[in-house]
């Protein structure tokens, strides 16, 4: 689809970020109180766009499953950085939406302490994300701004940009 190709090309530019100590998307909470990754994201209140996209893609039940999952969760602000019309185009193209969303998920529970020495991780989408922990933690070109939000079926790392498969 031409719109999808244009939308994806428009959001590939390199984004530079750093691991931030403040500004918690989870209000300072580090635990899930037994909630899965979906309910943990919903309760945070700063992932409305992500939750809408996961619902539209039909991935809610999968992400409520046993896991474990590592989710690189873009905030609403991260989605707002996308060029106008990108989110709407993805919501109209379920295949592209699923590819983008599953690129944000790694099977297993990968905590911040586990990334030292890793340079990549294979995503559920099938491609690998690049990991750079030389100055904070970067996943592809997105910085992790809050790490290790523990959920009952995995862990969430908050990122400030949407990452895209190549």
Q: Does 139 map to a domain?
A: yes
The yes-or-no verdict on residue 72 having pLDDT over 70 is yes
pTM given for the model = 0.81
Give the three-class secondary structure for 22.
coil
The string of pLDDT tens digits covering residues 19-49 is 222 334 444 444 557 899 999 999 999 999 9
For residue 139, what are the CA distances in angstroms to 4, 30, 106, 149, 152?
23, 20, 11, 16, 23
Q: b or e along 120-153 (b: 16 or more beta carbons within 10 Å of the residue's beta carbon)?
A: ebebbbeebbebbeeeebbbbbbbbbbbbbbbbb
Q: How many CB atoms within 10 Å of residue 68?
A: 16
Average pLDDT, integer, range 65-77: 97
What's the mean pLDDT in 13-17?
A: 23
Distance CA 124, CA 129 (A): 10
Question: Residue 92 domain-assigned?
Answer: yes
Domain assignment present for 120: yes
104, 60 contact by CB (below 8 A): no
Domain containing 85: what range? 2-9+22-159
Average pLDDT, the chain: 83
Task: Please give the pLDDT value at position 16.
Answer: 21
Q: Is the pLDDT of residue 139 over 80?
A: yes
Closest CA to 8 of 80, 106, 89, 101: 89
Q: Is residue 155 part of a domain?
A: yes
As a whole number, mean pLDDT of residues 105-115 equals: 93
User: Given a cut of 50, is residue 18 above it in pLDDT?
Assistant: no
Does residue 63 contact residue 38 with C-beta atoms inside 8 Å?
yes
Answer whether residue 146 is part of any domain: yes
CB atoms within 10 A of CB 112: 15
In this predicted structure, what is the pLDDT of residue 33? 74
Domain tally for the chain?
Answer: 1
pLDDT score of 32:
54
Specify the CATH number for the domain of residue 47. 2.30.180.10
């Amino acid at each position: 689809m031409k719109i999808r190709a244009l939308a994806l090309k428009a959001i590939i530019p390199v984004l530079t970020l750093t691991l931030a100590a403040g500004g918690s998307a989870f209000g300072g909470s580090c635990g899930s109180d037994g909630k899965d990754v979906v309910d943990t994201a919903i309760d945070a209140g700063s992932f409305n766009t992500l939750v809408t996209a996961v619902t539209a893609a039909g991935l809610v039940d999968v992400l409520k499953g046993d896991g474990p999952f590592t989710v690189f969760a873009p905030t609403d602000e991260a989605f707002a950085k996308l060029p106008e019309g990108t989110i709407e185009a993805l919501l109209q193209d379920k295949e592209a939406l699923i590819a983008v969303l599953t690129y944000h998920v790694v099977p297993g529970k990968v905590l911040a302490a586990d990334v030292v020495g890793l340079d990549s991780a294979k995503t559920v989408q099938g491609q690998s994300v690049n990991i750079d922990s030389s100055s904070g933690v970067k996943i592809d070109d997105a910085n992790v701004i809050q790490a290790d939000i523990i959920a009952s079926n995995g862990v969430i790392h908050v990122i400030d940009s949407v990452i895209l498969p190549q």
